[in-house]
Structure 1
Amino acid sequence: MAIIVAVIVGAVIGGFTGEFFGMWVGAALAWLGVRSRSQQRELLALRQALATIEAELRAFAATRAAAPAGLADAVEPAPGDGAPLATAAPAAMPTEFGNAAPTLAPATPAAMPRAEAASALRDGTSDANGPADAAAALPASPALAAGAAAPEAGPAAPIRTAPRRDWLAPVRDWLFGGNTIVKAGVAILFIGLAFLAKYASENVRVPIELRLALIGGVAVALLVVGWRLRARRPAYAHVLQGGAIAVLYLTLFVAFKFYAVLAVAPVFALMVAVAVLAAALAVLQDARSLAVIGAIGGFAAPLLVSTGSGNHVALFSYYLVLDLGIAAVAWYRTWRVLNVVGFVGTFVVATAWGVLAYDPARYASSQAFLIAFFVLFLAILLMPARRLVGAVTAEAEGVAAAPRSDAWVNGSLLFGLPTIVFALQVGLVRHMEYGAAISALVLAAVYVGLASWMRRHPRLGLTFDASLAIGTVFLTLVIPFALDARSTAGAWSLEGAALVWLGLRQRRVLPRVFGYVLLLISGLAMLHGHDRYGAAERVLNAYLFNGLLAAAACLAAAHFVRRFADRVASRHGEASAEPLLIGLATLWLVATALTQIADLVPARLRLAALLASASAVALLYTALRVRLAWPLIGWPTLAHAPLMLLALAVGTVVVESPLARGGWWAWPLAALAHLGLLRLVVPAWPQVVRRAVHAAGAVALAGFGALQGRAWSAALDADLASAWPWLGWFVVPAALLLWLPRPGAARLWPVRAEPVAYARSAAGVIAGALLLWSLVGNVASDGSAPPLPYVPLLNPLDIGVGIALAAIALWLRSAASGLPAARALRVTVLLVGVATFVWLNAMLLRTFHHVGGVPYRLDAWVDSLAVQTGLTLLWAATALALMWTAARRALRPAWVAGAALLGVVVLKLLIVDLSGSGTVMRIVSFIGVGVLMLVIGYVAPLPSKGAADAAR
């Protein structure tokens, strides 16, 4: 029969083309039919052989389990059976014989066909000629039981690891499973008929009615043959019928659209009839592939023969009929792939038409079609639920009902339908004020109504949750869309989070993958919107709302991954999605804040706005960390303390009060966020991280106090040469440096949480900052402090520098308390001694400036003989004091340092002071240095090594 049909089809096509192409097609189809029949026989034989072997293995395992203890080991092989048949232990026996067949050691010639049959099944081939040959090759189960004895002792059966799941297997099975060649042949035939119809309309002078009738006749012939083969060759029959249905769709559409052979009413009725026929055939034969092939062919028909006329009413009426047929099938069968084909086919074409051809003049018809498609696919989604509701009714009447299952829920329709419909709706109403907001409100009402209906049915718990969530999302979107209609990023992110949730709930990977992809690419939509529409002009704008929605969606998806951690396959690395989604959410929040600040905030307030945004994010994450007991959500807050330090660094560069330009409200919020982190989040972190955050907070406090103190003191005199601007810097840092190492501080929170971080790390940074301040302040300021007069050592600047250096010295002593005394002294001299030496020199220079009238400049110092003499004597006196102290304490390194300074003095005398030997100042220099050197030689001899070792 298949050969006859193939020849007929080939003859018809050959008649149309006028070539031998039709005969080649007929021969190919004939060969496919014969080959498919041979493969069907071989497959049936293999299945029967497999069933026989599995039954015998099951019987053997039952016999072994029922035998008394020790009896199985005592069984001897029957006479003539030869060696016993070795088998694996029943516990190690694979559950699917096709995955890993047990290895049977042949004991008798009768056992050899069994092993060969098992090997053939594993290889996918068989030498058997049919079921009878396969059955004859297998001994009965009693013989197997009698000829098999368990070995007394032997190595344990190897543990078989579960094979890795192939995620492309379903797609590959659908494309290449069964009779792949037949599927490809029908697809090629369908495309050929489409091209034939188009070619014939342009070149062949045959009445169009006859051409269409012949093509329809071929389709009917294929349909009849497929129906007659439905029992013997179901897979082959389904392919033939699917191709025939697609050809009928094509024929009716061309007859109506291009040649007007049929009027609107008849062609519509016939299309409805074909749709009903396809649905009926699919349901009667339980043929999912038939329904899918018919649907694909129906959706492809207008695209293949399109002339670009743009008659959208005819196009979408035709698609509506196709979708009604899919709905009819969905009433009886829950076929996901068919529903998805209809959904994708309809809305892909609708989206393409909307982008390329829509204009507001077509609003009424377009809106009607969009509503119709939405209602239809919503009904298709909910049709399987009626069986669950019926199960609840039956259970209430005392009839056993099936347990609840969420497998019927189609995530693509549940979440994709409202998303794509809303996107298209926004395109339709973009010329209307508040059109998007009203549309969001209507969709929210629809899904909230669905949720209220599902609430009465416990078995619909999943769809109740999803519908309520979707309704809530659209209700939330009403406000932003009333202000701005740019919503793609937020909508995609929310759909992505919903798909992640559904995929985790149903233990399905594909929805989760789609959800992750949507969450990742939603940022592209936001970038496109910003490039197209420009900067935001209002505080409440689409960028703000959609950025916050996208961040919320990423956080929700991360929480779902954490909540369903037991359902995430670790071998796929999906567990890492949680921190990645948290990072993506943080990126969304940062990008949204930066965009809003750049577009709407004046330049003078941007630093405060950035700090406040970072603190708000930290407070949000802290609340989530505590409320949800969510450890990972707290880690992004690790950046809050460094951001505070960065803000202070910027304030230091611009030299202004941290409370200025909005800082009066940003810094209290930052302090609150930091204290909340220290109390609620930081204790769970590793010790090194805890210490770093605590120390950063203390340093930030010192920096804030320094900036604010500088602002207050600068109010007295803003001139940088004055002492007042410099004095404000040191007060708070010096006070903290004196207080943090004290035992009383360690008893107060937050110092008691990490006392080392405050007394060592933070105090060390503050000490370094004070040291740098003393050096810069001594060089930059001339010590004037109007209205106060300048008095060496008693002026405000020298007092401040002295306090700072004393605080540093005291801290160094306490920090080095665990070291030997000599070493602690060396550390103090090394760090504080240099700063003290610079301070003494600066004090001398300031004295010459205020008393002697020497300008406070480097060139004036070099040209002034009085300054040079004063420096020489000061250096020599410093060398004397250093060497004398070193000699008394037996500190050879300190004595060597003093001697080096004295050498510098001598060089200065020879190089600088000698040039003015005739002046009084130069004479004073030489005499003074000479006397000091004599004193040094007398009171400060070089300590011996023995004395230095004894001092240690």
Structure 2
Amino acid sequence: MPLLTLLLLALVGLPIAVAILALVRTARLQRRVEALEAALLRRTARDASLTPESARDPAPDTPAAPSAPEPAMPRRDGWREPDRTAPAAAPRQASRLGALITDRAARLKATAWGWLTEGNVPVKVGTLVLFAGLAALIRHATEEGWLTLPPALRLAGIAFLALGALGLGWRQRQARRVFALSLQGGAVGILLMVIFAAAQRFGLVPLPLAFALSVILVAGLCLLAVLQNALALAVLGTLAGFLAPLWLASGRGDPAVLFGYYALLNLAIFAIAWYRPWRLLNLLGFLATFVIATAWGVLAYRPQDYAITQPFLALFFLIYLVIPILYARRRPPGRTGLTDGRMIDGSLVFGTPLVAFGLQAALLEGARLPLAFCALGLGLLYTLLAALLRRRPSLRPLGEAHAVLAVGLATLAVPLALSARVSASVFAVEGAALIWLGLRQRRLLPQLTGAGLQLLAGVVLILSLPFQRPETLALANPTFMAGALIAASGLASAWCLRHRGRSRWALGAYLWGLAWWLGIALQEIGRLAPSHLADDWRLALLALTGALIAEFHRRHPAPALAWSLAAGLLATLPLLAAPLVAPHSSPVTLSQLAPWGWALVVILGDRQLRVLRLTAVGAPHHREPGAWAQGAWLWALALFLTGALLAALPPPLGEGWRLAAALLPWLGLLALLLLRPPLLLAAMLPPAEAWRPALAASLALALAALWLLLLGRPGRPAPLAWWPLLNPLFLAQGASLLVLWRLQRDPICPARLQERGVLALALAAFALLSLEVLRGAHLLDLGPWSPSLLEHQAVQTALTLLWSVLGVSGWILGSRRRLREVWLVSALLMAVVLAKLVLVDRTHLGNLLGIASFIGYGLLCIAVGYIAPAPPRQAREPAPREETP
């Protein structure tokens, strides 16, 4: 263990020591370089000043004869005298200086390495060993308890150090103010912790004496902070005082002691607020008090503690009710006059009643009638304060804030006496009215209050949903009406905000109202709609909502409305795809596809597209909602046609027919988009021409994904027998490759994809033909549809012949068309077939199938050798002819 410790210390300490030495040497070298540069500049300036005037500016009558420059004479220190006639002297000097720095860096590196390997190595090792020994001694002393002291002695030592720090901080209050204030605050906080630990944890001090000492310290802290005008001192000490019970708490403790201690701290903050407008200190006390009180209430509150906690809650509420008024009185007015908004501490003005009323509700355990009277009493209190504050012009904004709170508390008394759904409706309507009034009067506070009331209405209704009684009527029930009123209030607020130029606020209100409308309507559908008609109703809701938004967008265009139409059409896709991807024991029926809901989506969606065409500009698809709406409409059409074809097929038809039917709609829509775009894009032309590549790419991706998913399915074509290249699944997949090939040759396809698409399609066709061999073997009952099918001799022979035919065909085609790449790929395929013959088919030479493989491959190679024995030459320009003399 000591050896391991020594090794670790050496590994850590040696690099640190080397780094420190290197930094010292580098600093010395930098100073020497700077001194040399300064000396060089001084010498250059002195030589320039000693140059004769005639030499620097010859007379125009007597031209100066050119003379050879004198060579620079070397000096003892290795430098040369500057050449006064050479213009490139400065670069040469800079290069010599760089060489000097490089040489010194190499010497420094060598010195560092020498320090590690040379010198007094025993002393270095001894120092490391001594360090390791001291560390081991301290660890052993700690484990043996030699450093353990009695609690009283430990607390006395800590208190003595804190008093010394407090005295030092007071002495340094003029010379080092920041340091002194921090030291004083930390010392007072430590003393508070010592007192609390001595009384509560160790029982060394009686509780009355501990409270008396705490009062003295808190009073002294307030006095120091006020005398020195030191916010940092007050914050540090207060923070330490609040954290002391949390650090040193043991068990549940006595709530009277805990809240009495915090009451003293809050009274100290109140006393400071009487003289100093320190908003940070007020906010710190508010947050610490109510966060700790809430945590204690959640973890340790018991009903028998009500008599203790209720008075303290009232005291805390009154303290932080008055502190914002003191802050407004002490705060000097800003540049904007007496109504400067900075004079209002909004966090305490609005946070105090909200948090205190929430804790009061927890103490009363949700008793509605007492809470109603409590809210009404607080409303009267805030009304009285608002009336008093509005009399002074400097406090009028604060009085208006109290008036708003009085209205809110009086409003809150309503739901406590009535049902939650009725209360939510009242809150929502009142919030919309306040937003309208605030916009008319150009005042921000009523607008914020109105928005808060609408949010409160939504929260109240959501919380009441688990406790509502079962409704019997559709739409005409309190829950739906409350949700509809919240939605209408949000949309009305969005309309008012938009007309006043508050675009961001209008967007938030619009999204709020739209979300509530869709949410409450979908909940009503889920509660009342039959299971086989639920999807129809949901699609109808989306379609009708989109139609209303489209008509409004036609009269009052807005980007949010356009994107809502696109999002609504996109939301229909999961409803149409759900019956297709869900596992079914029986084929999909037409009723599962929501036919009349889909019809509304297609018909009303076409109308939405025509409205969007009026505002579309043909921008890129990711910036234009019309492109997303058009793509969603096409996908909805493809999904429904897929489901309709699957539902229309009679049950006796095998799996191959259904899989082919799943490909046909995507195949047909992509072909129409390539060959006859106006048939699909009539509603959005001409802007849709800019989006046609993106729409074609989306359909192509869907088609390719389906093609890959169906590649691993056998596709039994019952009741027909399997025929090579004629079964329905192979025909549908082959047609898909043809359409993708047509897309690859279309001008809308990027040039990079046109170059690489040929290879991808060729590999896909190769995979499809090879898999068709496996399908045929399975459908001819040669084996189960699994990897074990490859072990059959007939399958291996068929694959050999197929790949040979493909290779030979490509060989010949590449030679005839002078396609060198095709010829080389075909040759590679033939090499693969040869390797397969040697490694796989060689084991079957004892039967006819193995012999057929070798013979077929040999014949094909002979034919190719006769037709196209060598790769085609690349086209080259004819060499120029030499002229004969």
TM-score normalized with structure 1 length:
0.46
TM-score normalized with structure 2 length:
0.50
